[in-house]
Amino acid sequence: MHTDFFPGRSWLEINLEQLIKNLDIYRSALPEKSEIMAVVKADAYGHGDLVISRKLMEYGIRNFAVSNIDEAIRLRDCGITGDILILGYTPTSNVKHLIEYDITQTILSEEYAKELYGSNLGRIKVQFAIDTGMNRIGLDADDLEGAEAVIREYYDKFDVKGVFTHLATADSDSDEGRSFTNEQIDKFSKLIKRISDLQLGQIHCLNSAGGIFHKTPFHNIVRLGIIMYGLRPDYNNELPIGIKPILTWKSVVSMVKEIDSGETVGYGRSYMAEKKMKIATIPTGYADGYNRLLSSKGYVIINGKRANIVGRVCMDQMMVDVTHIPDVKLGDEVILLGQSGEELITADDMAQLIGTIGYEIVCGISKRVPRMYI
């Protein structure tokens, strides 16, 4: 794959061996040995869903989760076998594809179940989402009888493959967060007990964080997303030792120049030099998914040293201060995310600078940045 790749302007290097290491370490850290459902939605969190899913399949993963029907079909068209669960909404106009491509749809609500069943195109594979406190999708577990009734009503109408809920604070180590998680798991387990006479298939309530921070017998499969990619659900989470980001984002120096004290850099002249400085231009900008909020806040790594962004990130370029780094020249490699020498910047670190989460950083790296697999 990409063996003829010529390092160019801005690109990702994705380490598939590290992906497998992360999986191995995660599995051994799971309190209960359970199966893994690999969450590869949003192009595998920006890492490239096809290559990642193929590698996972080779590793033995048989269960995949995506966000929508287009992602599901893409995986099938490229030879991904095993179960594919759509975690979100599929318009009923697309129901025929669920059957044609053998894809499992989440039941979002009773109303949705009715609509899906009403499309009358065959027996659709489904999993029931249960709302235990997220208030996003699912049958309301505060009304156990009602939720049970819906599941029983539709049990024969669909091919039921599972029941799941989603935790809102699985990554929190505060007392409040943990107790909310316990409440959610408690509600879920009460419902599961009421319908334990049914063949429910997959029963799941844990995401990446849940899998390692919470112990509960009420699951037989874990939905693993962010930690597989080596990032943290929450910045404060300690990941098991050896789990590392699988992605490095690289660019190059496209120009170096010296500026005098009093000169400004970039749009809006938001940065003014207070001394003579050496500035390097980097051909990566917000159209590549390098967040503009990192203007005068973020940093990159050049020759193993930090270089701070000066002025505003442009659409396709940005400028950094390399006054303190000797011999920076055209073509030098720049690390936007990753490690070089003693310096490291992860998507989690970058996210922290601008008040978001690593998930958004990696999902935001745009399609014009080629993905290269090593």
Ligand X SMILES: *Cc1c(COP(=O)(O)O)cnc(C)c1O
Taking Cα atoms as reference points, which of 330, 317, 255, 311 lies closest to residue 285? 317
Give me the least distance between CB of 56 and ligand X, in Å please: 14
Q: How would you label 65-101 residue by residue, b for 16+ Cβ within 10 Å and e otherwise?
A: bbbbbebbbbbeeeebebbbbbbbebeeebbebbeee
Distance of CA 260 to the CA centre of its chain: 43
* Residue 123 vs 136, nearer CB to ligand X: 136
Q: Is 132 in the site for ligand X (CB under 6 A)?
A: no
- The C-alpha atoms of residue 107 and residue 139 are separated, in whole angstroms, by 8
Catalytic residue among 193, 215, 267, 297: 267
- The C-alpha atoms of residue 331 and residue 328 are separated, in whole angstroms, by 9
Q: Is 108 in the site for ligand X (CB under 6 A)?
A: no
Q: Is 87 in the site for ligand X (CB under 6 A)?
A: yes
Enter the tokens of residue 116. Answer: 């899906």
Enter the tokens of residue 1. Answer: 């794959």
Among 205-213, 257-265, 272-280, 313-321, which window interacts with ligand X (CB under 6 A)?
Answer: 205-213
Give me the least distance between CB of 171 and ligand X, in Å please: 7
Between residue 164 and residue 203, which ones bind ligand X under the rule CB under 6 A?
166
- Note the residue count of the chain: 374
* Residue 75 vs 328, nearer CB to ligand X: 75
> In a 3-state reduction of DSSP, which class is residue 297?
coil
Between residue 36 and residue 65, which ones bind ligand X under the rule CB under 6 A?
39, 41
Q: Is 161 in the site for ligand X (CB under 6 A)?
A: no
Question: Residue with the closest Cβ to ligand X?
Answer: 225
Give me the least distance between CB of 114 and ligand X, in Å please: 22
- The C-alpha atoms of residue 84 and residue 97 are separated, in whole angstroms, by 13
- The C-alpha atoms of residue 156 and residue 178 are separated, in whole angstroms, by 36
Q: Is 208 in the site for ligand X (CB under 6 A)?
A: yes
Count CB atoms within 10 A of the CB of residue 9: 17
Catalytic residue among 41, 55, 161, 187: 41
* Residue 30 vs 256, nearer CB to ligand X: 30
Q: Is 358 in the site for ligand X (CB under 6 A)?
A: no
Q: Look up 359 and say whether it is catalytic.
A: no
Size of the site for ligand X (CB under 6 A): 12
Between residue 220 and residue 249, which ones bind ligand X under the rule CB under 6 A?
223-226, 233
Give me the least distance between CB of 233 and ligand X, in Å please: 5
- The C-alpha atoms of residue 218 and residue 43 are separated, in whole angstroms, by 29
**Span between the terminal Cα atoms of the chain, in Å:** 9
Whether 277 and 257 have beta carbons less than 8 Å apart is answered as: no
Q: Look up 299 and say whether it is catalytic.
A: no
The residues carrying an active-site annotation are 41, 267
Task: List residues binding ligand X (CB under 6 A).
Answer: 39, 41, 87, 166, 207-209, 223-226, 233
